[in-house]
Chain A
Amino acid sequence: MQTKNTKTFYLIPYFAWIILFVIAPIALIAYYSLFDLSGNFTFDNYKNFFTSIYLKLTLSSFWYAFLITLFSLLVAYPTAYLLTKTKHKQLWLLLIIIPSWINLLLKTYAFIGIFGLYGPINAFLNVFGFGETQILFTDFSFIFVSVYIFIPFMILPIFNALDKLNPSLIDASRDLGASSWTTFSKVIFPLTTNGVKAGIQAVFIPSLSLFMITRLIAGNKVITLGTAIEQQFLVTQNWGMGSTIAVFLIIFMVIVMIITGQRDKGANTNGKN
């Protein structure tokens, strides 16, 4: 629809960004990954990645990223849906985003207090006769806080998809005698797949490299690839190995993109029907 000239003109900043801040860093990382600690050229870093530790880390990163994405979606979809039904929906949506502007480290410290043995949650549980429960440093607290961090990234695109949904479609479906579930699964959900997909990408991809809260909230009982990279860069100062893990993270991300990209075609044809 656009001529070559106007297209390139608009895209100059974006392509400049890709070259300078995406391709150049990738090249740099790939370059570093080929050197060992003493600066010799080697493929050892890549060999090391295929030892049990890193494979185990990869699996656990994917598992937790999957759980975080799943729960984010389960919480975000109904929230986004109900938000579209409120009177001042744009305002409510903004109110969902505002908490994410307060410093994450501070909020995490607050969660440590809230989840603590003598924190409000345990005080509440005590009322119902539960003894002091260890909430911190469990998978539950880790996933809870991660979902807390990522939830706006899931709600926003889903809200945007739902918001423009034509209500007459839903009415029509109802009039034709479809149950609420059928209306949802056959009419509403397929029309919001693009939003859901964007949300999944905005949550799943960064979840793979989560680090800080693996220590603060999970007490290092959850270790992800992000934690390992952080350690290699900052503690061991083995930039070669750190870069190698980063290269694999990027490869994993591309695989995820290819998989979700194929679904894209299906969704598009669905949407056009």
Chain B
Amino acid sequence: MERTSKTAKLYLALIFIILYAPILYLIFYSFNSGGSMSNFESFTWEHYGAVFSDTRLIMILINTVIVALLSALLATIIGVFGSLGIVYMRNKSIRNSLLSLNNVLIVSPDVVIGASFLILFTMIGVKLGFASVLISHIAFSIPIVVLMVLPKLQEMNSSLIDAAADLGATKGEILRRVIIPFIKPGIFAGFFMALTYSLDDFAVTFFVTGNGFSTLSVEIYSMARAGITLTINALSGIIFIVTLFLVVGYYFISQRGKNPVGMGVRK
């Protein structure tokens, strides 16, 4: 493989700087002893202390993480089977209408989704709280999973499946041994984008939550009128650092398990 050139490295570096700039800005001000995201006065850990002494905030954070992980997982499972169904749909016009239906929730503004889900839940009598929030997050994450998985499925050569079938593989085996491994990058992409959807969502969660259940987004948005405290900045800083460690750590642990040379030549 060719080495990446200087300009290429510079370009990537620039992209990463831009992606991380606002986050570093947030973290920088989390150390501000003045109360807001302007006029840095002096350095303090005070806002970090405030995070740990606020049990309610920590419980909200844990709720947020649980909802994000579970909803992304379930949405990925449902979405993967959904895309399999769409791809192997023989009738083209049904396939296209299914795809359109799939994307309805992506194009609908959150308020509309939130309000209609709320009406739906109260109509069928679901108690508002953890369950209704989880179900809604699964619901609005499924389309993005399908969008991420579909291109991988479309790329897949049907002769591969035919060959496996000729060799006497059962349908379950074909799915497990041939299809899933091939579309794996799409599955992971779908999962991560579903996580993003879930963590970012404010409006839908707002409408369908209740009975004391809250997520970080709802909490942050409703603070806007009286001012978002730097405690939230500090909390975001902690989340960011922990996530970074987890992801990098998980990556290297999972790499060690594999053939170390594999990385370089797999392509």
Contact = CB atoms under 8 A, between A and B. Distances in A.
Tell me the dominant secondary structure on chain A's binding face.
helix
Which bucket holds chain A's interface residue count? 35 or more
A85 B8 contact: yes
A25 B195 contact: no
A21 interface: yes
25 contacts: A1-B165, A2-B88, A10-B81, A11-B85, A14-B142, A17-B138, A22-B105, A25-B112, A29-B112, A82-B12, A85-B1, A87-B264, A99-B20, A101-B199, A102-B23, A106-B228, A107-B26, A113-B29, A148-B22, A167-B267, A233-B115, A239-B115, A249-B107, A258-B96, A261-B99
Contacts of A258: 96, 100
Tell me the dominant secondary structure on chain B's binding face.
helix
Contact of B186 (A160, A211, A252): A160
Contact of B247 (A21, A29, A94, A109): A94
A92 B120 CA distance: 41
B78 A17 contact: yes
Interface string B228-262: 10001100100110011001100100000000000
Given A28-B116, A257-B99, A110 B108 contact: no
A86 interface: yes
Nearest to B150: A198
Interface in B175-216: 185-186, 189, 192-193, 195-196, 199-200, 202, 216
Most buried by B among A10, A106, A111: A106
Contacts of A36: none
A23 B101 contact: yes
A102 B19 contact: no
5 closest residue pairs by CB, A with B:
A14-B82, A110-B22, A194-B151, A25-B116, A21-B139
